[in-house]
Structure 1
Amino acid sequence: MSVSSGSPIITPQTLPTWRQKEAEPFVRIEQINKQFGDFTAVNDVSLDIYKNELFCLLGGSGSGKSTLLRMLAGFESPTSGRIIIDGVDMSHVPPWERPVNMMFQSYALFPHLSVEANVAFGLKREGLPNHEVKKRVAEMLDMVQLGHLARRKPHMLSGGQRQRVALARSLVKQPKLLLLDEPLGALDKKLREETQFELMRIQDELGITFVVVTHDQEEAMTLATRIGVMNNGVIVQTAEPHEMYEYPTNRFVAEFIGNVNLFDGTVVTDERDSATIHCADIDSLIYVDHGISCAPNQNVSVAIRPEKIRISREAPTEVNNHVSGIISEVAYMGSQSIFKVRLSSSKEVRVTQPNAQRDSGDRLTWDDKVHLSWDADSSVVLTS
């Protein structure tokens, strides 16, 4: 077999670590439970995180993500189960004896100390020589691009600069594992987006394993090598961002990650490479290009992302998945427009369309009758 010179050769070494069968996890969480009285905050969670990953724990308030992070840090002890870091059982090791550091949501900077003194604090507590402290602090401040602000106090800094001081202080001790609890939550939207890429750059340069807790889906999708979605104390899906978005394994993940249209229906046919689902909301069949392997007449949900749906005034031809309705709401968002289309069943379907041209001429607007269509490979069938 010949391979063209322009074709990349995929070897086990070029695969991400978590896809390599022989790779050993750097962090292994084994059947961890955490109870507070009668309340179960984390319920039988098992998870592998690999060296140099930027792993995100994503979930809403009360999902258990922060409790799991605190157990990794050693601030909480598991009720049962084990936490193994770099091959060592850390389940009941105190925080100060773990190769772990944590960056708190509040940043917890000392207001009376300068930037460099804040960053140096942990190193001085360890008794490192002054020349070593100065060298490592200077290197870390340069990495976060704050060397020129070393003598300033925290109140003289912007929110983004304080965030980078906290990050530098967390990293200067060279932990094997850095835990970040909502690290960008205090920043405005534009600064948060800029800082996300800065955080990724620093993590890539240092090669330290990051575990980030966040409730922000876009933040997790931008930052993470992989995401673990938590709900009610359990991890409901672990996947790379693209896989999580395009192939959710259940209804909760489909709704939690991004926007989605869900059509409830009943399986009519289920072949090896295709299936049809009858949906009362559109009084028609939905065609999908994959089998489901479920019981006959089983109730399922069909998930379709808004950007996968085409919208037009003209009825499409030679398309299996087609429904019509009236535009009830329009939102112009700059890069895209959002349409809500009310079907005859009163169900609303969300459609997004990129604004690729500055002047699109005859724009779709309120009360227009439109036709919606989508390809068979745009649907994901969810059985739970």
Structure 2
Amino acid sequence: MTLSQHSELHTSSKTNSVEIPLWKQEGAEPFLKIENVTKKFGEFTAVDNISLDIYKNELFCLLGGSGSGKSTLLRILAGFESASSGRILIDGIDMAGVQPWNRPVNMMFQSYALFPHLTVADNIAFGLKREGVARSEVKQRVDQMLDMVQLGHLGKRKPNQLSGGQRQRVALARSLIKRPKLLLLDEPLGALDKKLREETQFELINIQEQLGVTFVVVTHDQEEAMTLATRIGVMNNGVIVQTAEPHLVYEYPNSRFVAEFVGSVNLFEGQIIEDLPDSVRIRSKEAGAEFFVNHGISCAPNQTVHMAIRPEKIKISRNKPEQANNWIEGVIEDIAYMGSLSVFKVRLASGKDVRVTQPNFVRDMGARFTWHDKVYLSWQIDSSVVLTS
């Protein structure tokens, strides 16, 4: 299953065998509704008038840097913090005044917070035992959950006898065993190493799809959000600045902040010199060239804008391109071999550096270029976007 298929699979209706996600369905009722929520700590505004709809069975990611307000918003959803204004509705019920333990919500913390003196099975069963669930049902549900997270053979171990990835799955099982309608995850994979984190991301997707629970995940890791999410809400200074499916956030950022925060990007400042309904022409002094983009924008004549293009969209060559537009020349200043791809830093005559990434389809592909080579960079008319903010 591809990541784009993953984003389309969550609770949707079918029209002519094409699955339509709930957030694209006109009139669909959101499962989680955040209305004009603000949270202030004294004079500091941590969450600033956020409104957001999240739909049943979504795996929604709140993505942002430190201090962006994402964890504060998560704590408000859990009931650990009270909003200064606004309201939260879960499955149509206003959560105002509802204590955390009475909400249809559970939260998984980054630290996992496992009880070191209890076995894996007892850690998972803890919440059910506190509620007085019958012993036979507790055992049945714990066994089911252990099998789901592939830890059935480790139920009698203590947390200190587990790897980081195994502890993460125990914490997830404990969070899910009470069958919450909404699971909140605060940097759930942050304590894992890179390889294990990548493996666990797909396990998390599979578990979420099996259970059909709505997930809201907080993360600062762009790759993690792109892998996990059906949709992403990018946060900055207490505000959600863009909400969209992962590929749209990456390919069509709505601001310089989003373009720079999500992935790597080259930004060229320039002025609009021609704005047609289906294309726009930009003159950039720092690039020493004119660029064409195959869509129009709403802006004033000669307005300063930024053209954004991702490094992997750029072709690097020793030969001058045959195309009339959308090419520049420069000199290779740095090369980084990353295994699956090579990264080139190319310096233009203006002194601006342009980042180019090229996949290494064959061995020694990067050896075709070396330091101080004069090269030409080119891209297609539909490879870039124009940003006015």
TM-score bin, normalised by smaller chain: over 0.9
Equivalent position amino acid for 2:139 in 1: K
Match for residue 164 of structure 1 among 150, 169, 182: 169
SS at match of 1:69: helix
Tell me the distance in 1 between the aligned counterparts of 2:55 and 2:182: 11
Tell me the distance in 1 between the aligned counterparts of 2:17 and 2:181: 24
Tell me the distance in 1 between the aligned counterparts of 2:185 and 2:364: 44
Tell me the distance in 2 between the aligned counterparts of 1:360 and 1:317: 23
TM-score in terms of structure 1 length: 0.96
Aligned ranges 1:7-26 → 2 under 5 Å: 10-11=15-16, 14-26=19-31
SS at match of 1:377: coil
Tell me the distance in 2 between the aligned counterparts of 1:322 and 1:13: 39
Equivalent position amino acid for 2:130 in 1: R
User: Partner of 2:202 in structure 1?
Assistant: 197
CA contact (8 A) 1:261 1:350 kept: yes
SS at match of 1:351: strand
Equivalent position amino acid for 2:63 in 1: L
The yes-or-no answer on 1:147 pairing with 2:152 is: yes
User: Partner of 2:94 in structure 1?
Assistant: 89
Aligned length: 376
1:283 offset after TM fit, Å?
1.7
Greater shift after overlay, 64-73 or 290-299? 290-299
User: Partner of 1:110 in structure 2?
Assistant: 115
The yes-or-no answer on 1:339 pairing with 2:327 is: no
Tell me the distance in 1 between the aligned counterparts of 2:312 and 2:252: 15
CA contact (8 A) 1:196 1:222 kept: yes
User: Partner of 1:47 in structure 2?
Assistant: 52
1:203 offset after TM fit, Å?
0.1
Tell me the distance in 1 between the aligned counterparts of 2:365 and 2:110: 44
User: Partner of 1:71 in structure 2?
Assistant: 76
When the two chains are superposed, the root-mean-square deviation of aligned CA atoms in Å is 1.1
Match for residue 237 of structure 2 among 232, 237, 240: 232
User: Partner of 1:4 in structure 2?
Assistant: none
User: Partner of 1:28 in structure 2?
Assistant: 33
| CA deviation string 1:77-110 (max 9, x = no partner) | 0000000000000133110000000000000000
User: Partner of 1:3 in structure 2?
Assistant: none
> Where do 5+ consecutive residues of structure 2 fail to align?
1-13
1:13 offset after TM fit, Å?
7.2
Equivalent position amino acid for 1:84 in 2: L
User: Partner of 1:5 in structure 2?
Assistant: none
SS at match of 1:350: strand
CA contact (8 A) 1:319 1:373 kept: no
> Where do 5+ consecutive residues of structure 1 fail to align?
1-8
SS at match of 1:375: coil
SS at match of 1:269: strand
Aligned ranges 1:219-298 → 2 under 5 Å: 219-298=224-303
Match for residue 137 of structure 2 among 128, 132, 137: 132
CA change 1:241–1:361 in 2 (3 A) is: closer
Aligned ranges 1:296-335 → 2 under 5 Å: 296-335=301-340
Equivalent position amino acid for 2:131 in 1: E
Identity in percent:
71
Tell me the distance in 2 between the aligned counterparts of 1:322 and 1:361: 21
1:362 offset after TM fit, Å?
5.0
| CA deviation string 1:46-73 (max 9, x = no partner) | 0000000000000000000000000000
Tell me the distance in 2 between the aligned counterparts of 1:361 and 1:147: 46
Runs of 4+ in 1 over 6 A off after TM superposition: none
| CA deviation string 1:113-134 (max 9, x = no partner) | 0000000000000110000000
